[in-house]
Amino acid sequence: MSPEVINSLFSLLIGFALAGALTSGYQMLANRPASFGLLQEGVAPSTFAAVPFLVFAAPFIIMRNTVRGRRVENRRVEFVMLATVLAGLWSMMCGTVFLQLLEISGFFTTV
């Protein structure tokens, strides 16, 4: 495999891991699952704070809702596949941003 493919795969996995950790932490603190409904609480500081959280937690929320929709509502496979591709691309972008932030802060260096 080329280094670009390995880098993209690593970004994808880091993005999903970060999204899962964020949503699990939120669920532990708030005693309810994270959802995009956090944006519907009106104009408040908590709504503005939810935006960066949801940017990085979105891949997990999309996949959780997709799997639940497939089981409960018998959604079509095409919809599940499209949502999986969307969550994967979003996860790869979030993972890339997170890895770049770690590199800028000096936690690791690339060769």
Q: Tell me the pLDDT tens digit for each residue of 6-20.
A: 999 999 999 999 999
d(CA 81, CA 102): 31
Question: What residue segments make up the domains of the chain, in order of their start?
Answer: 3-105
Helix (H, G, I), strand (E, B) or coil at 32: coil
Q: Tell me the pLDDT tens digit for each residue of 22-42.
A: 999 999 999 999 999 888 877
Question: What sign does the CA torsion over 85, 89, 91, 95 have?
Answer: positive
14 near 99, Cβ under 8 Å? yes
Q: Where are the alpha helices (DSSP H) in the chain?
A: 3-30, 45-73, 77-105
